Amino acid sequence: MISEIVQAARPKCEPHRSQAKPRQNLRTAIPVIGTTSECGPLSFITLLNSDAVSRPDDISLAHGPVSLEGAGEYMLNFIQEQSQQSIFLIVISVAALCAAVVLCFARLIKTRFVDVTFATMSTAIVPMGTILGLILGFLTQREWENFDAASRALYQETTQLNQIASASSLLPESSRNRILTGVKEHIRHVLDVEWKLMSAEYASTLYRAPGLAAIKSAIAFEPNTQSERLGQQFILGALSEVATARVNRFRSSQTQVAPIVWASIIVLSILLMIGIAVTLSGTFTVATFAVSLFAASVSFPLSIIVSFDRPFSGGVTIAKEPMQELLKYLSQ
């Protein structure tokens, strides 16, 4: 009976499995999440049977030579690993430093070279300000939605694991014990292994889920009663939901803002500061106030974006408590 159910759940086309070799760099060995199958990424059969990488320890996390891009990424990662308050202080401090440098530079330019009016500069300031505002608004909404999606994925996964544990009471004792063991093994795997991978942006469905595979194996028997048959079907469906939530959780951990977007925000912000400072440099006090106000207004959305950019390791992180509480409950 269970073989017929599994066969019905199997996608009609076979997934393409990448044969990753041990000790490879994760950035080249791990493909983008969601591309493991032509039928889509949500087949739990694909996720449970994938044997490309059995353990995360089999792959080296070594990086290549340090480059300008690597240094920028390192600095960004350092900032994102701080607390929410520290992130805001760092962002506002950098913005204040840029504002001070821009004010000095703009006053020098105004005094020695040009006589710029607001009407002249507005043709450049207004379009750049509009573009910067759209980028910041879009990224703020995107980061919030991604954080919410990551939270919902973890909640869905935890809920379905709890449902699997509860439905195991319909099965024979031997299967029930194996299912409970598999559920606890999966939770420990998520907390101890996958969480670190998601924090480092290396999570991939190429990594096997041994706990889910154990659950799948535990329900592979011929049911003798109607309750056992219903329990098998329910657990099989819940396994599919868990696998889907796992994919969504991985995907949410790899949706960071691209370096080119960060560069665009920085360049546009500095250009706008220069434009405002040059336009108002005839009255230095007014120019200082305007540039400082602009720097502060940009710092707030930037702090939000940086804090929410990495939902599993950033300034604002997804809580582990739901899974920890479930593991504690099942271990009693």
Q: Is 114 domain-assigned?
A: yes
Contact yes or no for 38/73 (Cβ under 8 A)? no
- Looking at the domain assignment, is residue 305 inside a domain? yes
CB 219 within 8 Å of CB 236:
yes
Structural domain includes residue 119: yes
Average pLDDT over residues 143-166: 93
Residue-wise burial string across 219-252, b where 16 or more C-beta atoms lie within 10 A, e elsewhere: beeebeeeebbebbbbbbbbbbbbbbbbbbbbbb
Regarding predicted confidence, which is higher, 165 or 13? 165
Q: How many CA atoms lie within 13 A of 34 on its CB side?
A: 11
pLDDT tens digits, 231-273: 999 999 999 999 999 999 988 888 888 888 988 999 999 989 8
CA distance 239 to 45: 9
Residues 96-101, mean pLDDT to the nearest whole number: 88
CA angle 98, 104, 105 (to 5 degrees): 85
Q: Which residues of 113-140 are buried (b: 16+ CB within 10 A; e: fewer)?
A: eeebeeeebeeebeeebeebeebbeebb
Helix (H, G, I), strand (E, B) or coil at 202: coil
Q: For the chain, what's the residue count?
A: 332
pTM for the structure as a whole: 0.69
User: Among 102-116, 161-175, 223-237, where is mean pLDDT lowest?
Assistant: 102-116
Going by pLDDT thresholds of 50, 70 and 90, the confidence category of residue 112 is: low
For residue 187, pLDDT over 80 is answered with yes
CA–CA distance, 191 with 194 (Å, rounded to integer): 6
Residue 11 lies in a domain: no
- Say if 322 falls within a structural domain: yes
First to last CA, the chain: 33
Q: Could you tell me the residue range of the domain that residue 95 belongs to?
A: 85-330
- Number of domains observed in the structure of the chain: 1
Which stretches does DSSP call E strand in 266-310? none
- Residue 159's pLDDT is what? 94
pLDDT of amino acid 166:
93
Section 9-19 average pLDDT: 39
The lowest-confidence range among 177-191, 194-208, 210-224 is 194-208
Q: CB under 8 Å, gap of 24 or more: what pairs does 191-196 form?
A: 191/320, 191/323, 191/324, 191/327, 193/56, 194/250, 195/312, 195/320, 196/56
What integer pLDDT is reported at residue 58 of this predicted model? 41
Averaged pLDDT, 17-23: 37
| Segment 157-166, tens digit of pLDDT | 999 999 999 9
Mean pLDDT of 165-177: 91
Pick from 23-27, 135-139, 262-266: least confident: 23-27
Query: Is the model's pLDDT at 111 over the cut of 80?
Result: no
Supply the mean pLDDT for the chain: 75
Residue 186 lies in a domain: yes
User: What pLDDT does 71 receive?
Assistant: 60
Share of the chain above pLDDT 90, in %: 30
Residue 5 domain flag:
no
CA distance 237 to 241: 7
Q: Which residue has the higher pLDDT, 45 or 159?
A: 159
On whether residue 63 sits in a domain, the answer given is no
